[in-house]
Amino acid sequence: MDVLHHLQSIVGPENAIEGNRADKRYGSDETEDLYFPPEWVCKPACTNEVSAILSLAHELNIPVTTRGGGTGLAGGALPVKGGIVLSMERMNQILLIDEENLQVTVQPGVITEVLQDTLKARGLFYPPDPSSRGISYIGGNVSTNAGGPRAVKYGVVRDYVLNLEVVLADGSVIQTGANTLKNSTSYNLTQLMVGSEGTLGVITQIVLKLIPHPVFQLLLLVPFNNPVNACAAVSAIFKAGITPSALEFMERDAIAWSKEYLGQPPLDETDDTQAHLLIELDGFYEAPLYEDVEKINQVVQHFNAGEILFADDEATKKELWALRRHVAHAVKTNSVYKEEDTVVPRAKLPELLAKVKELGKIHGFRSVCYGHAGDGNLHVNILKDSLDEHTWSILLPKAIRQLFEYVHELGGTLSGEHGVGYVQKEYLDTVFSAAEIDLRRQIKKAFDPRGILNPNKLFPDS
């Protein structure tokens, strides 16, 4: 029996097809314009089917690339070695909302926003909200340790994962932990799986911690005439004892392009605003939020902030958030680009931003920067514009290498929330020593001795 028929006998004929007959999206994600055709696309409906598929792949040494919503920005879901694309689209059930214990058990194919909306209707909050949450899967969020604007107060995905059901490379099924808030029982396999980008096992069930949903939210848009001042204000806000529920940074171009993309009137040309901070506050009582707004107002005046736009009605809040959430699409519409996901200790943001611009001058590229300033997580979008292919493909990787080396000097690293995947793996030596990479290779080998799980990812070619 050939592989296709084997797979069809596991998931049914309609859920296993040859790659060349499958939709093109199974060979790509949101990373640049990369495309790699899979040999087979397979859509399991349950853990047992995933287990049977992996047993088969293990026996026959077939690469398996697990796929969520396909919104990754580091190429983690690309089947670069062909083989099977394991799409989790049919495993999309919210299995149990446990209001007594503030936990939810889900399958990996649930769309992040669907989960959040379902929970919110019950007064429950699952905070991590990557920009792609309208289409990304929760399983992919776990696999990349996704973040989003609210990480600054509420933490990233890994802070909410209590326990995972995982199918290992040989098809055996394990639980990584327990459904408890605390756990000191041997090695933390849960946290090892989070962010491992499908290279250690296939996540088939997820238990998430929930919290009560805050009742009040306020939003501020603060303009600055200098992006370095905006970054510096970020640390000062935290030092003043305030923990916003979001603290986002946008360069002038980021907001200007997003306005254009959304069909809004452009920024006034005479306006000398060069950057914005979008600041959200939330809580269970309203009065303290207004006191925090007053404190923030005082802090940002030390950094030459302009007039603050204050949003307490839903329409204005929605409009401001749309501006922020559409920056990435706006950049994509403007130029071919490369997105870097640098992260540093937050007070180092001004230095990081200055370095990006300095490298741009040296190597001749424009960049648009924005991101989760409260976490020190700056998305650096390098624009191709009219750069020739030689500069783009040969010189640019050198500039990126210099950027990551500098990020490492600042105590940071190359990805805050996107992952390493396929497109960042050759840069790993800018932030890790040979011993640090080798130890991770040993872990990979312990989990997946035959190397069938998402091969040619995470590690530099050796």
Q: Which of residues 219-238 bind a second copy (CB under 8 A)?
A: 235, 238
Binding-site member from 212, 266, 364, 397 for a second copy (CB under 8 A) = 212
202 bridge partner residues: 167
Q: Which of residues 323-352 bind a second copy (CB under 8 A)?
A: 341, 343-348
Q: Which is nearer to a second copy, 38 or 130 (CB)?
A: 130
Binding-site member from 447, 452, 453, 454 for a second copy (CB under 8 A) = 447
Long-range residue pairs from 382-390, CB within 8 A, at least 24 positions apart, any chain:
382/337, 382/338, 382/339, 382/340, 383/331, 383/334, 383/335, 383/336, 383/337, 384/335, 384/336, 384/337, 384/338, 385/335
Q: Which of residues 298-317 bind a second copy (CB under 8 A)?
A: none
> In which element (H, E) is residue 125 found?
strand 124-125
Q: Which is nearer to a second copy, 7 or 328 (CB)?
A: 328
Binding-site member from 20, 270, 442, 462 for a second copy (CB under 8 A) = 442
Binding-site member from 9, 12, 13, 239 for a second copy (CB under 8 A) = 239
Considering only 12-20, 26-34, 300-308, 431-439, which stretch makes contact with a second copy by CB under 8 A? Answer: 431-439
Binding-site member from 54, 104, 414, 452 for a second copy (CB under 8 A) = 414
Q: Which is nearer to a second copy, 195 or 223 (CB)?
A: 195
Tell me if residue 137 falls in helix, strand or coil: strand
Tell me how far, at minimum, the Cβ of 302 lies from a second copy, in Å.
15
Region class of 51: left (phi > 0), else alpha (psi between -120 and 50), else beta: alpha
Q: Per-residue contact track with a second copy, 362 to 391, x per CB under 8 A?
A: ----------x--xxx--------------
Structure tokens belonging to residue 184:
């000191």
Structure tokens belonging to residue 222:
């603060």
Q: Which of residues 102-141 bind a second copy (CB under 8 A)?
A: 102-103, 123
> In which element (H, E) is residue 283 found?
strand 275-283
Tell me how far, at minimum, the Cβ of 240 lies from a second copy, in Å.
8
How far apart are alpha carbons 153 and 260 in whole angstroms? 30
Binding-site member from 1, 121, 287, 315 for a second copy (CB under 8 A) = 287
Rg (CA), the chain: 22
Residue 80's nearest CA partner among 460, 456, 459 is 456
* Residues binding a second copy: number (CB under 8 A): 91
Tell me how far, at minimum, the Cβ of 152 lies from a second copy, in Å.
8
Residue 342 main-chain phi, psi, to 5 deg: -60, 150
371 bridge partner residues: 249, 378
- Which amino acid, one-letter code, is at 345? P
Q: Per-residue contact track with a second copy, 147 to 186, x per CB under 8 A?
A: x---xx--xx-xx--------x---xxxx-xxxxxxxxxx
Binding-site member from 412, 423, 454, 455 for a second copy (CB under 8 A) = 412
Tell me how far, at minimum, the Cβ of 268 lies from a second copy, in Å.
34
Residue 419 contacts a second copy per CB under 8 A: yes
Q: Which is nearer to a second copy, 20 or 442 (CB)?
A: 442
Angle between helices 252-261 and 327-334 (to 10 degrees): 80
How far apart are alpha carbons 146 and 138 in whole angstroms? 9
Cβ burial, residue 451 (10 Å; 0-12/13-18/19+) = middle
